[in-house]
Amino acid sequence: MKKSSVTSSGAPAAIGPYSQAIRSGSLLFVSGQIPLDPQSGALSGQDIEAQARRVLDSLGAILQSAGLGFDDVVKTTIYLVDLSDFAAVNAVYASYFHTDPPARATVQVAGLPKGARVEIDAIAAFA
């Protein structure tokens, strides 16, 4: 099966040897996004809500570049440095996924790149 990369200037450039997203068949695999400003590459937002919004805005920009939206997301994984941030991130997350939210896992991790407090990856499906 052929694969192709998807990029968006509305999301931060990859900070390593990976693509922002890869389309393979009818699926789009979006790499984990951390709260980096797309223009400067600097960490964006000190509080968890601001970081979660930046992450989801980046995911949205990548989805849009592929011709998709949040309604097309079928699975996400949320990585939190502190699981006590779950409720705050969940509230922000809910404002992006209105109908039939995707399947999801949330895990606590020891650390994230650049001192981020949250990272989210996604899988979306083309109709």
Is residue 102 packed enough to be buried (19+ CB in 10 Å), middle (13-18) or exposed (0-12)? middle
pLDDT at 1 over 90: no
The model's confidence at residue 22, banded by pLDDT at 50, 70 and 90, is very high
| Residue written as token pair 């592929």 | 66
What number is the average pLDDT over the span 10-31?
Answer: 96
* pLDDT tens per residue, range 68-126: 999 999 999 999 999 999 999 999 999 999 999 999 999 999 999 999 999 999 999 99
Q: Look at residue 4 and tell me whether its pLDDT is greater than 80.
A: yes
Distance CA 82, CA 86 (A): 8
Domain 3-125 classification at class level: alpha beta
β-bridge pairing 73-80 and 103-108: parallel
Distance CA 57, CA 116 (A): 15
Q: For position 55, what pLDDT does the model report?
A: 98
What beta strand segments (E) does 1-127 contain?
Answer: 3-6, 21-24, 27-33, 73-80, 103-108, 118-125
Q: 120: helix, coil or strand?
A: strand
